[in-house]
Structure formats: C-alpha cells, structure tokens
C-alpha cells in the first residue's frame, strides 16, 4: 500500500514540474504567440569581393565607398547580391583605386545619391546596369583603358549631363544611355564602329552627335523620343555615310541632317 502511494506521489511531482516548465516557456509570448529573439545584424560596411586570384577590398566610410586591391571584382549575380547593398542609399562618392581592373554587373545600380565617381587607369571593363538609376550623377569620364561596357550601364541616369567615353571602345551596347533625359554632351570613342539599339533613346536634351568615320552600323531606335535632337556631325564623306548600315527603325536618325567632313569642334554650343 505504501509502495503504491509513493508511486502516485512521484507521478504528481513530475506533473507539477512539467507544468512549471511550461509556464516558464510561455512567459516569453505575446498573446499566446512565442516571441522570436531579434537576429537583426548591423549593416555591413566592409568586406572582400575579389574574383579568383584577385585581392579586392571594399569599405564604406561615411558616404564614400572605396574599392581597392588588384584584379577583377567577383561577379554579382543579381542586384540583390551587391555586397554594399545596405549602404546604397547613403553613398555620394565612389572611389575605385589603381589596380582594380573591372566593375561587375549591378555594381552601383540604384545609388540614388551618387554624385562623384573616380575610376582608375587600370580599369578595363564595366558590367551591365552598373550605374543604372544613379539619378544624381551629373558627369562621368571613363579611363582610357576601358574597352567594354555592358548594356543599360547608365540607363535612367536622369541628371547625367556630360559623358566622356574611352577611345579604346569600339561599340556602344544597347540602351547605354536610355532615359538620360538631361544628357547634352557625349564624347564618343575615336574608333567607334557600332551603336547598339536604343543607345540614346529618350535623351530628349541631346542636341547633336559627332560620329567618327569608323562607324559601320546602327541598331534600331537609336534616337527615338529625342525631341531636342537636331543633327549628326560626321567625320567622313557622304559616300562613306551611304555605306553605313542603319536599321530601318530609325526615323529620327534617317530624317536628321548630316554634316559631312565635320570635326568635334563643329558641334553646336
């Protein structure tokens, strides 16, 4: 009899302990829903982002992003994967130091407050969408060593007024300056051969372009919706111009007056 009573007593104690433990667990609840401890991490302000065999470091100090090292930056698969994404909206200045040879796709997409960019002579390539939607950027000069630039690189940079491209480039990609509504002056490569589709579409402030005699082909809608465009200044002869391939979907380009045997100095002020 005593043995049975002891068993019952032990069982009752175990139930009491379980109830106490459950009470402790429900103490951290809100309306019966368990709360989850905060896992929010502070914004990342520095890191490494070098491609294989490269040593690249980036750091944000205040509103300035500095990228340093030697070689190519690692590829960025999508805009969401930009390593300094948490700092994008605060950036006003980007400094890429000597030794860096490439900027990947999406590198500075949506840096809406970016106003100054310093690029090194060692830079050779710039990826697609690299400066897309940088709506505060007004001027940019590409170093002489840049040979390639991706499509949409300056798309919708609505404050961009003046651009100087590298003479090492031979092609403008599709939609390079699409939607750059304030663009007025573009210094094109001296050996430019092809201009991609919609390269200057919606550049409504662009009055004219100086084109070297090396140009061989234009894609479609090069100057569509460029309401302020007035003329082409072409370094070659009329006979050379007639040999240039112009996609049929180029109403403005085909209707624009072409000034032959021109120089860059002939462009209207």
* Band of residue 8 on the pLDDT scale cut at 50, 70, 90: very low
Q: Dihedrals φ, ψ of 18, to 5°?
A: -65, -40
| CATH node for 101-266 | 3.80.10.10
Q: Is the pLDDT reported for residue 2 higher than 60?
A: no
How much is the pTM?
Answer: 0.84
Query: Where along the chain do its domains lie?
Result: 101-266
Question: For position 7, what pLDDT does the model report?
Answer: 42
* Band of residue 44 on the pLDDT scale cut at 50, 70, 90: confident
Residue 44 or 42, more confident: 44
Residue 132 or 20, more confident: 132
């Amino acid at each position: 009899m005593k043995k049975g009573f002891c068993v019952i007593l032990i069982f009752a104690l175990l139930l009491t302990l379980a109830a106490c433990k459950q009470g402790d667990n429900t103490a951290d609840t809100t309306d019966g829903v368990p709360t989850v401890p905060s896992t929010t991490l502070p914004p990342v302000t520095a890191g490494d982002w070098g491609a294989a065999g490269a040593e690249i470091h980036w750091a944000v100090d205040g509103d300035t992003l500095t990228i340093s090292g030697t070689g190519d930056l690692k590829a960025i698969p999508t805009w969401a994967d930009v390593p300094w994404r948490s700092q994008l909206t605060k950036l006003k200045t980007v400094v890429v130091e000597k030794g860096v040879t490439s900027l990947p796709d999406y590198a500075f997409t949506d840096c809406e407050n970016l106003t100054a960019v310093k690029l090194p002579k060692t830079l050779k390539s710039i990826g697609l969408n690299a400066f897309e939607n940088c709506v505060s950027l007004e001027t940019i000069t590409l170093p002489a060593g840049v040979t390639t630039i991706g499509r949409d690189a300056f798309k919708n940079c609505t404050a961009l007024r003046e651009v100087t491209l590298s003479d090492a480039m031979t092609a403008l990609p599709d939609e390079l300056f699409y939607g750059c509504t304030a663009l007025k002056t573009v210094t094109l490569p001296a050996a430019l051969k092809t201009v991609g589709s919609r390269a200057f579409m919606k550049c409504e402030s662009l009055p004219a372009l100086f084109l070297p005699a090396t140009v061989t082909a234009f894609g479609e809608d090069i100057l569509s919706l460029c309401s302020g465009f007035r003329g082409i200044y072409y370094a070659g002869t009329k006979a050379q111009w007639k040999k240039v391939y112009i996609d049929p979907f180029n109403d403005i380009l085909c209707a624009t007056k072409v000034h032959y045997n021109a120089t860059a100095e002939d462009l209207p002020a």
